[in-house]
Amino acid sequence: MRAFVFPGQGSQKVGMGVELAGASTAAREVFQEVDDALDQKLFSIMSEGPEDQLTLTENAQPAIMAHAIAVLRVLEKEAGIALTEAADCVAGHSLGEYTALCAAGAFSLADTARLLKLRGQAMQAAVPVGVGAMCALLGADLEKAQALAEASSEGQVCQVANDNDPTQVVLSGHREAIERAVALVKEHGIKRGVLLPVSAPFHCDLMQPAADAMAEALQKVPPKAFRLPIYANVTAAQVVQPEEEQRLLVEQVCGRVRWRESVLAMRAAGVEEFVELGGKVLGPMIGRIDSDAKVTSVVTMADIEALAKEIA
Helix (H, G, I), strand (E, B) or coil at 268: helix
Residue 296 φ/ψ region, left for φ over 0, alpha for ψ in the -120 to 50 degree band, beta for the rest: beta
Give dist(CA 288, CA 286) in Å, integer: 5
Q: What is the pLDDT along the chain (312 residues), one digit of tens a residue?
A: 999 999 998 889 999 999 999 999 999 999 999 999 999 999 999 999 999 899 889 999 999 999 999 999 999 999 899 999 999 999 999 999 999 999 999 999 999 999 999 999 999 999 998 899 999 999 999 999 999 999 999 999 999 999 999 999 999 999 999 999 999 999 999 999 999 988 889 999 999 999 999 999 999 999 999 999 999 999 999 999 999 999 999 999 999 999 999 999 999 999 999 999 999 999 999 999 999 999 999 999 999 999 999 987
Domain range summary for the chain, segments of one domain joined by +: 2-126+206-311, 132-198
Q: What is the pTM of this model?
A: 0.96
CATH superfamily of 132-198: Malonyl-CoA ACP transacylase, ACP-binding (3.30.70.250)
Q: Burial code of 270-305, b = ≥16 C-beta within 10 A, e = fewer? A: ebebbbbbbbebbbebbbebbeebebebbbebebbe
Q: How many CB atoms lie within 10 A of CB 15?
A: 11
Tell me which H or E stretch contains 172: strand 168-174
Sequence-separated (6 or more) residues with CB below 8 Å from residue 59: 42, 45, 53, 120
The pLDDT score that the predictor gives to residue 48 is 95
Give dist(CA 106, CA 83) in Å, integer: 13
Level-2 CATH architecture, domain 2-126+206-311: 3-Layer(aba) Sandwich (3.40)
By the 8 A CB rule, do 119 and 61 touch? yes
By the 8 A CB rule, do 139 and 190 touch? yes
Hey, what's the torsion of the CAs at 246, 251, 252, 254, to 10 degrees?
150
Instruction: Let me know if the fold of 2-126+206-311 is the same as that of 132-198.
Output: no
The catalytic site residues sit at 94, 203
The pLDDT score that the predictor gives to residue 10 is 83
Please, what sign has the CA dihedral across residues 98, 50, 173, 282?
positive
The pLDDT score that the predictor gives to residue 197 is 83
Helix (H, G, I), strand (E, B) or coil at 150: helix
Q: Please measure the distance between the N-terminal and C-terminal CA atoms of the chain and give it in whole angstroms.
A: 15
